[in-house]
């Protein structure tokens, strides 16, 4: 495994960290409070090439690695988890399946607009009755002449309200079970497509999570992604990559909470000395620091394997599971270290704790990650 970075990559990462501090951190509390999608930040991220990091320059990407992309999501999430997931859902769940399964025409049509940030991407798999059991898709796609007609609803779709392109999964042949699911590239202006109710959430409140509604939605045949009946595998492979993105987001949240806690425990004095001088603080922080470093190694390994085109399904599941649980533990303890102040919005740790929770749920719950890991172990 090679974790070293080229001088160019080092500079890129320094630039991302400076950008996160200067442009993302100051807005984090405001977009959370107002449940506002950070469109102005997306525009700025697009200008500096953050909306298509791991894709070749011929498609408008930055030509970077998945490791660098993962570090970018980590750095953004360290200061604002909403901004981290906007980039992760766009890149891993929309650009990546088009890049990995699209025809040359589809890649040339969609990737330059997505990678430049002119368009934002989203992914529509989850339905009211198909959450963890993603195979229970009820959205249908019926072939009619030169197009398909889609009917159904998707829920909990990250970026939904501001996206221009959606990867949508629908049943083309119910009798075939999971082999009857097909993927489509759907544009927001296709007839019969609309964005529905916006969810009011506990955390990542700026990320515009909505329902998608398809009522006799007309999708041209050239927008079929991959093969008819190949949609479930595309969904699973896409989620393997997405889980690296969410693991990176969780790692960033944990690191952000650690940074805040180190600062606070050095400053806050009780019983005549700083909290950092108490062995209880030192031992707890040492354990958490070790877990954050384990998280980082798991994410780096999974992204390195993706870069090397090695199988990484289980690595991504382990990274997501461990990073998400570490983020939850770190942020909960960060609030505890901050005491009463930690429970107020004066300090960012309460937001971080609310943001951390979703990393144990979306793109496969922690239980799904345990299923993926154990089924490989016991096969």
Binding site for ligand CAA (CB under 6 A): 89, 123, 125-126, 132, 134-135, 156-158, 178, 232-233, 236-237, 239-240, 313, 362-364, 368, 371-372
| Euclidean distance between CA atoms 231 and 61, whole angstroms | 25
| Euclidean distance between CA atoms 202 and 35, whole angstroms | 10
Task: Find the shortest distance in angstroms from Cβ 365 to ligand CAA.
Answer: 7
CA dist list (Å): 260 to 61, 127, 150, 240, 348: 34, 37, 47, 31, 8
Task: Find the shortest distance in angstroms from Cβ 173 to ligand CAA.
Answer: 15
Residues 6+ apart with CB under 8 A from 263: none
3-state secondary structure 193-252: EEEEEECCCCCCCCCCCEEEEEEEEEEEHHHEECCCCCHHHHHHHHHHHHHHHHHHHHHH
Here the tokens at position 334 are 């960060």
Name residue 144's beta-bridge partners.
147
Nearer to ligand CAA, 68 or 358 (CB): 358
CA 177 to chain centroid: 28
User: What are the residue ranges of helices labelled H in 205-230?
Assistant: none
Q: What is the CA radius of gyration of the chain?
A: 21
Nearer to ligand CAA, 60 or 180 (CB): 180
Task: Find the shortest distance in angstroms from Cβ 199 to ligand CAA.
Answer: 11
Which active-site residues does the annotation give?
A: 363
Task: Find the shortest distance in angstroms from Cβ 156 to ligand CAA.
Answer: 5
Nearer to ligand CAA, 27 or 94 (CB): 94
| Euclidean distance between CA atoms 316 and 294, whole angstroms | 14
Nearer to ligand CAA, 66 or 281 (CB): 66
Task: Find the shortest distance in angstroms from Cβ 302 to ligand CAA.
Answer: 12
| Euclidean distance between CA atoms 247 and 114, whole angstroms | 23
Nearer to ligand CAA, 57 or 132 (CB): 132
The angle at the Cα of 161, spanning 118 to 226, to the nearest 5 degrees, equals 70
């Amino acid at each position: 495994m090679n974790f070293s970075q080229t001088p160019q990559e080092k500079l890129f990462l320094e630039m991302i960290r400076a950008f996160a501090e200067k442009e993302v951190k100051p807005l984090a509390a405001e977009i959370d409070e107002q449940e506002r999608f950070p469109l102005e930040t997306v525009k700025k991220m697009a200008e500096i090439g953050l909306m298509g990091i791991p894709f070749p320059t011929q498609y408008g990407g930055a030509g970077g690695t998945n490791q660098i992309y993962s570090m970018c999501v980590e750095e953004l999430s360290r200061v604002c988890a909403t901004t981290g997931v906007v980039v992760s859902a766009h890149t891993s769940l929309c650009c990546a399946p088009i890049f990995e399964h699209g025809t040359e025409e589809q890649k040339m049509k969609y990737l330059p607009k997505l990678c430049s940030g002119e368009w934002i991407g989203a992914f529509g798999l989850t339905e009211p009755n198909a959450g963890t059991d993603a195979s229970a898709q009820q959205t249908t796609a019926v072939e009619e002449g030169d197009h398909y007609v889609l009917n159904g609803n998707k829920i909990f779709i990250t970026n939904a309200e501001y996206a221009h392109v959606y990867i949508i999964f629908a049943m083309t042949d119910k009798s075939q079970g999971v082999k009857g699911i097909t993927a489509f590239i759907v544009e927001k202006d296709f007839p019969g497509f609309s964005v529905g109710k916006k969810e009011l959430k506990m955390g990542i409140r700026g990320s515009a999570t909505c329902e998608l509604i398809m009522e006799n939605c007309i999708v041209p045949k050239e927008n079929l992604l991959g093969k008819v009946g190949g949609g479930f595998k595309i969904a699973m492979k896409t989620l393997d990559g997405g889980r690296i993105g969410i693991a990176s987001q969780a790692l960033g949240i944990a690191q952000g909470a650690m940074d805040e806690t180190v600062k606070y425990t050095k400053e806050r004095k009780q019983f005549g000395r700083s909290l950092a001088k108490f062995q209880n603080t030192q031992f707890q922080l040492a354990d958490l620091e070790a877990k954050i470093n384990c998280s980082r190694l798991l994410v780096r390994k999974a992204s390195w394997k993706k870069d090397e085109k090695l199988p990484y399904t289980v690595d991504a599941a382990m990274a997501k599971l461990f990073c998400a649980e570490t983020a939850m533990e770190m942020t909960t303890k960060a609030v505890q270290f901050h005491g009463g102040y930690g429970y107020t919005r004066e300090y960012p740790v309460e937001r971080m704790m609310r943001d951390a929770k979703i990393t144990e749920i979306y793109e496969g719950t922690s239980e799904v990650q345990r299923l993926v890991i154990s089924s490989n172990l016991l096969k």
